[in-house]
Amino acid sequence: MAKKSARYSPELRAEVVKAVREGGRTYAEAARDFGLVAETVRNWVIADVCILAWVTGHRRKYSTNGL
């Protein structure tokens, strides 16, 4: 039987991404602080970078290399 994925509010996602991108926390630190899995935090940050690049048209400026 497949495991049901958890649903998180957009507000939580934004807060976690901000903690990593602006607060200087690692994925693991943010995951621990918010009770999440580090891979989930990583996915959210990468998605945020990709969306920002698409919206602004700066695809090279917002590279996911090193994230």
Domain regions of the chain by residue span: 10-56
Beta carbons of 31 and 53 less than 8 angstroms apart: no
Nearest to 16 by CA among 36, 35, 32, 30: 30
pLDDT of residue 64: 55
- Which single residue is written with the structure tokens 């602006």? 22
Query: Which amino acid is present at 26?
Result: T
The pLDDT-based confidence of 8 (bands split at 50, 70, 90) is very high
- Residue-wise pLDDT tens digits, 35-63: 999 999 999 999 988 877 766 666 555 55
Helices (H), 1-67: 10-21, 27-34, 38-56
As a whole number of angstroms, the distance between CA 65 and CA 60 comes to 10
Residue of 64 and 50 predicted with greater confidence: 50
